[in-house]
Structure 1
Amino acid sequence: MKSQITIHGSRVHDVGFRLNLLHYAKKLRFINFEAINDVNENEELVIVYVEGDDAIINLFIQNIQTIKPESAIVQDISIQPYTGHILPLASFSQDLQMEQMAKSVPILVEMRDLQIKSINMQERSFALQETAIHKQDEMLTEILGSS
């Protein structure tokens, strides 16, 4: 049986929900599985397409609240039959991995840029400290030399 499961909530995106669903789908040995983020007005949705035995799909649905990320807020879960194509789980897994990597690249670039700025500030600070120490040495030499 193929099913479309829609998870409705005020916070179901960008919390790792689809990754948790994927791990659970692997555990239940689904062959065809995919989950996409969508929006309906002000509501966030995770739409899951799954193919498998009815009892296993029902077990999957029953455990969505249990496997959801801690910061996720789910208001409702609906299910309906589905007749369209569903990606193989392995393909969805690769797609999700690429999507997550694409999200992380700008963050990593920003972190690198901030680190470069921090290093440059430290280098300037060290240069100022070296200048101050050199001036202190000159003053001490002058003071001690005049005594």
Structure 2
Amino acid sequence: MKLKITITGPKVNDVGYRYFLLGIAMSNRIRMFEAHNMRSSEGQAVLAFADGDEEAIKAFCAQIETERPARSEVSNIVFDDFQGEVMRIGEYAQFCATIQLNKAIPVLLDMRDDLRAVRKNTDLIPQIKENTDAIPQIKANTDAIPQIKANTDAIPQIKANTDAIPQIKANTDAIPHVLGEIKGLRDDIQPGYANNFRQVQADVRAIKERLGMQ
């Protein structure tokens, strides 16, 4: 018995409906089966063909009338007689596998690119660790900023002191001359001081004699 099944509705494509029908056909031991996603005037459609024992076909039809794939939205299911050729169910399963592989290839390529990006990021981990290990030193340098600022604020005073160095040097250079002058004064004072001291002693003795003092 050959049968054509047309399933229409807002959401019957890309919900696994063909594989759902394939599973039901295999469970009912139908040897000839195929299904295809279509577009119709009513919207999305799945067109299925089955060829097998009459009892198996009836059981198949009863099951698909009462069961639906998850997330599908079905408006109508129509059963019609069919006289054409139907693909062997094994060949159709291979056909479905090919379709899924074609869908999977872009996904696999994206996964490959993502893995490459992950590996590139993983290769950066030693550098990230090195940067992380430097954080204490960076913090220490940051903590030193107030001291650096204080030292920087002292620069004008340091410059003023530096500018005074020539005057300090001039004063220092004058020290030998000053010392020489002091030494000369001392040498000049000492002889006169001794003479004056002897004169004072003589005057004291004369006064004592006049007063009758010994």
* SS of residue paired to 2:132: helix
Q: Which protein is bigger by CA-based radius of gyration?
A: 2
The answer to whether 1:8 aligns with 2:12 is: no
Aligned to 2:57: 57
CA distance in 2, matches of 1:58, 1:134: 76
Q: What is the CA–CA distance in structure 1 between the aligned matches of 2:121 and 2:14, rounded to whole Å?
A: 33
Question: Relative to total residues, which structure has the larger helix share, 1 or 2?
Answer: 2
Alpha-carbon distance change, 67 to 113 in structure 1, aligned in 2, over 3 angstroms: farther
Aligned to 2:101: 101
- 1:110 partner letter: D
C-alpha deviation, 1:132, in angstroms: 3.4
TM-score normalised by L of structure 2 = 0.59
| Corresponding residue SS for 1:30 | coil
Q: Give the distance between the partners of 2:139 and 2:113, measured in 1 at CA.
A: 39
Offset of residue 56 of structure 1: 2.3
SS of residue matched to 2:4: strand
CA contact (8 A) 1:5 1:48 kept: yes
Contact 2:9 2:42 (C-alpha < 8 Å) held by counterparts: no
Distance 1:101 1:41, change over 3 A: same
Q: Which residue pairs with 1:130 in the alignment?
A: 130
1:66-77 to 2 correspondences below 5 Å:
66-77=66-77
Secondary structure of the residue aligned to 1:11 is: coil
Aligned twin of 2:40: 40
Secondary structure of the corresponding residue to residue 10 of structure 2: strand
Deviation of the 1:80 alpha carbon: 0.8
Structure 1 residue 30, shift from structure 2 partner: 0.7
Percent of residue pairs bearing the same amino acid type: 28
Select the structure with the greater relative contact order (CA < 8 A; seq sep ≥ 6): 1
Contact 2:32–2:89 under 8 Å retained in 1: yes
Higher share in strand: 1
Query: Is the counterpart of residue 28 in structure 1 residue 28 in structure 2?
Result: yes
Measured against aligned partners, the alpha-carbon deviations of 1:80-107 in whole angstroms (never above 9, x if no partner) come to 1111110111110110111111111111
Q: CA deviation at 1:137?
A: 5.6
State the aligned residue count: 142
Cα 1:131–1:72 shift into 2, 3 Å: same
Q: Say if 2:3 and 2:81, in contact at 8 Å, map to a contact too.
A: yes
Structure 2 residue aligned with 1:85: 85
SS of equivalent to 1:4: strand
> Which 5+ residue runs of structure 1 have no aligned equivalent?
none
Give the Cα separation in 2 of the matches to 1:11 and 1:118: 37
Secondary structure class of the residue paired with 1:3 = strand
SS of equivalent to 2:75: strand
CA contact (8 A) 2:12 2:73 kept: yes
Which letter maps to 1:60?
F
* TM-aligned CA deviation for residue 138 of structure 1: 8.4
